[in-house]
């Protein structure tokens, strides 16, 4: 069974993330969208809120599961029986960062393969960082956030 982990902060999940997962569904038998917990990092949404939003967005997709992990992503992959990591590339700076991480994970993760999908042009300007700024500024988040969670995000 081909299992992929899509790791991220998802603070919050955006339309860019959703598009990536949808395009990866035909490639894998199971995709685990996993929230990486980093105790040093400050988040806008709590872990529970982020997990709840992910569950809502992927409720109708049988092959998409939601998870969480602390520590090394490759250890989580091993525990879940996943041999693939899924990541998105929006631009050259994503590439520079992701290249190094992917090479490291290949070594420490016993040849785990990172599969990259290039974001669609209409989503390549979307980042969770920008979305958090729009939420804080009470701007319109509709173009950036999946419909299922637009109400939740506005509660902040
Ligand atoms: P991280 O904190 O690990 O960067 P993110 O939640 O910001 O977590 O992103 C997780 C993954 O989703 C990364 O591989 C990132 O490149 C990808 N991603 C983020 N935004 C988009 C987008 N708009 N289109 C495609 N991929 C994206």
pLDDT score, position 156: 62
pLDDT in tens, 42-96: 999 999 999 999 999 999 999 999 999 999 999 999 999 999 999 999 999 999 9
Atom of ligand 1 at shortest range from CA of 116:
14
Which domain does 69 fall in, by range?
Answer: 3-153
Domain count, the chain: 1
Out of 4, 6, 8, mutate this one to test ligand 1's pocket (max ligand atoms within 8 Å of CB): namely 8
Residue 155 pLDDT > 70, yes or no?
no
Give the distance from CA 30 to its chain's centroid: 15
> Which residue's C-alpha comes closest to atom 10 of ligand 1?
8
Asked if residue 29 lies in contact with residue 128, where contact means CB atoms within 8 angstroms, the answer is no
| Nearest CA owner, ligand 1 atom 27 | 88
Please report the beta strands in the chain, taking only residues with DSSP state E, as ranges in sequence order. 3-8, 30-37, 64-70, 84-89, 113-118
Q: How far is the CA of 127 from the centre of ligand 1 (A)?
A: 7
CATH number reported for the structural domain that contains residue 24 in this entry: 3.40.50.620
- Separation CA 11–CA 71 (nearest Å): 18
């Amino acid at each position: 069974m081909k299992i992929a982990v899509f790791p991220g902060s998802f603070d919050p999940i955006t339309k860019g993330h959703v598009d990536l997962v949808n395009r990866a569904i035909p490639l894998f038998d199971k995709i685990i969208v996993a929230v990486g917990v980093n105790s040093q990092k400050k988040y806008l949404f709590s872990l529970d809120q982020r997990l709840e939003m992910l569950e809502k967005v992927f409720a109708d997709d049988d092959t998409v599961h939601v998870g969480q992990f602390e520590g090394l992503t490759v250890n989580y992959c091993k525990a879940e029986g996943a041999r693939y990591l899924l990541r998105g590339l929006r631009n050259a700076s994503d590439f520079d960062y992701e290249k190094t991480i992917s090479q490291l994970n290949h070594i420490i993760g016993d040849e785990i393969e990172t599969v990259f999908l290039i974001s669609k042009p209409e989503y390549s300007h979307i980042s969770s960082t920008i979305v958090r700024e729009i939420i804080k500024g009470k701007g319109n988040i509709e173009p950036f956030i999946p419909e299922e969670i637009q109400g939740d995000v506005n509660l902040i």
